[in-house]
């Protein structure tokens, strides 16, 4: 069990003595943290709108457009371990503040990227933004697991992840209205100069949305800097948990959990990244991309509903069994997506969001179980594995360019098969 300090320069405030006072303090901290989960869910899902938008602006193929996810989620691979060390040094609270400031800078960089209309600048801005989100993930996810009883850690993390899914549900509507509405699509009977003006207007459509997000991140940074939150002294774990292990890498269930995070994020991001283009296909939804973006909200809305349900249901259901069940259903829905057309394929792929709902928080909490003083390092390793969201969408993009966008959905099926294994056996501590 973690112990909580009564103040100190890192803690950000005093934790009142007594079970009731401490419980209230934890509850307040969890409420504050939900805003972070909402924001990084929103910013991550906005990539699903940015991909088809920049694909049109720069005339990219699927593989090239997936570089957006490569740069965004690649930041997790580069930044996660340093972020884990940083958070351990300055505390969860100040790690959150630093992450918010970096994310604000990344959002602000979209303004010059749109002005110069250079794809590489957009990718650079995304990398900086993702670096800030990575620091937030490394700090906030384990903080949630520590704020309360270990046996309800998965339930708490699932509840906060539900607000993450609320952000992902709203983001496509936000992006469709402010970004995709500027798209001109295929242009006929226009001079090169006219086309250039149109594409410049499309590129500039991202300025205002990301300016709003930059301001929001800065406001949150100021709020969290002023908040008094309980401080977790991870080193206090040493007497009971983790003292007999040299590092988090020595835990088999953590390493297998990192693979689980890799394939889960990679699979989910791959599906989300292709939804707009897939739903707009003539033999699937046959709708405009701006309209398809609205349907993406159903995918993420299902994840939100599933997480609210899961936050309560998983107090009574075994975490591993719930994970396996959801992974198997998701794989079957993907198979149906590949083998069917029209509304059947359309709604089967959207329904996957409901079964994705509990996967990330469940894998995360199962992998961190029993790590004790190695929890921060373990969190860094798990966030490192989020690089799956950088690599696997590019793989699916290459498959889409080669064998078609629909058959390319076979790749995430493999991801869900592994997740089912982790729920059955891989999560067990040895």
pLDDT in tens, 212-235: 999 999 998 998 888 877 765 554
Looking at CATH, the fold of the domain delimited by 18-229+246-426 is given as: Growth Hormone; Chain: A; (1.20.1250)
Token output for 281: 């296909």
Mean pLDDT of 387-416: 94
Q: Which of the 8 DSSP states describes residue 16?
A: P
CA distance 248 to 56: 44
Is the model more confident about 151 or about 126? 126
Query: Does the CA dihedral 286-289-294-300 come out positive or negative?
Result: positive
Q: Distance from CA of residue 51 to its chain's centroid?
A: 16
Residue with the bigger pLDDT between 12 and 101: it is: 101
Judged against a pLDDT cut of 90, whether residue 160 lies above it is answered with no
What are the backbone dihedrals phi and psi of residue 18, each rounded to the nearest 5 degrees, phi first? 100, 145
Q: What is the pLDDT of residues 61-97, one digit of tens each?
A: 888 999 998 999 898 889 888 888 888 888 888 999 9
CA dihedral defined by 430, 318, 34, 241, rounded to 10 degrees?
A: -30
Higher per-residue pLDDT: 182 or 55:
55
Q: Are 136 and 40 in contact (CB under 8 A)?
A: yes
DSSP string covering 130-192: HHHHHHHHHHHHHHHHHSS-GGGHHHHHHHHHHHHHHHHHHHHHHHHHHTGGG---S--S--H
């Amino acid at each position: 069990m973690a112990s909580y300090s009564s103040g100190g320069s890192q803690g950000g405030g005093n934790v009142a003595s007594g079970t009731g006072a401490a419980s209230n303090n934890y509850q307040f901290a969890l409420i504050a943290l939900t805003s972070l989960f909402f924001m990084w869910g929103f910013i991550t899902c906005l990539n699903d709108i940015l991909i088809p938008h920049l694909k049109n602006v720069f005339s990219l193929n699927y593989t090239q457009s997936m570089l957006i996810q490569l740069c965004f989620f690649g930041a997790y691979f580069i930044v996660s371990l340093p972020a884990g060390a940083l958070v351990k040094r300055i505390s969860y609270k100040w790690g959150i503040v630093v992450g918010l400031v970096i994310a604000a800078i990344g959002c602000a960089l979209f303004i010059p990227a749109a002005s110069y209309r250079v794809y590489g600048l957009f990718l650079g801005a995304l990398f900086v933004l993702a670096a800030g989100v990575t620091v937030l993930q490394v700090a906030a996810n384990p903080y949630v697991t520590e704020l309360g009883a270990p046996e309800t850690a998965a339930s708490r993390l699932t509840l906060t992840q539900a607000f993450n899914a609320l952000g992902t549900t709203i983001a496509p509507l936000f992006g469709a209205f402010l970004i995709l509405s500027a798209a001109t699509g295929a242009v006929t009977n226009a001079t090169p100069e006219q086309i250039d003006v149109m594409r410049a207007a499309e590129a500039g459509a991202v300025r205002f949305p990301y300016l709003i997000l930059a301001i929001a991140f800065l406001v949150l940074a100021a709020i969290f800097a002023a908040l008094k939150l309980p401080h977790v002294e991870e080193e206090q774990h040493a007497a009971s948990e983790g003292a007999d292990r040299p590092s988090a890498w020595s835990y088999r269930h953590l390493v297998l959990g990192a693979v689980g995070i890799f394939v889960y994020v990679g699979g989910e991001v791959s599906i989300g990244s292709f939804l707009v283009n897939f739903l707009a296909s003539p033999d699937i939804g046959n709708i405009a991309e701006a309209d398809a973006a609205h349907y993406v909200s159903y995918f993420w809305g299902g994840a939100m509903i599933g997480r609210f349900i899961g936050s309560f249901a998983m107090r009574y259901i075994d975490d591993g069994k719930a994970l396996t069940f959801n992974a198997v259903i998701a794989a079957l829905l993907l198979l149906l997506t590949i083998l069917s057309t029209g509304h059947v394929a359309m709604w089967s792929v959207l329904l996957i969001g409901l079964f994705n709902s509990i996967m990330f928080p469940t894998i995360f909490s199962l992998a961190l179980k029993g790590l004790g003083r190695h929890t921060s390092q373990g969190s860094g390793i798990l966030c490192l594995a989020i690089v799956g969201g950088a690599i696997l969408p590019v793989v699916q993009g290459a498959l889409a360019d080669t064998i078609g966008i629909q058959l390319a959905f076979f790749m995430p099926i493999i991801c869900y098969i592994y997740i089912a294994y982790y729920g059955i056996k891989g999560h067990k501590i040895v």
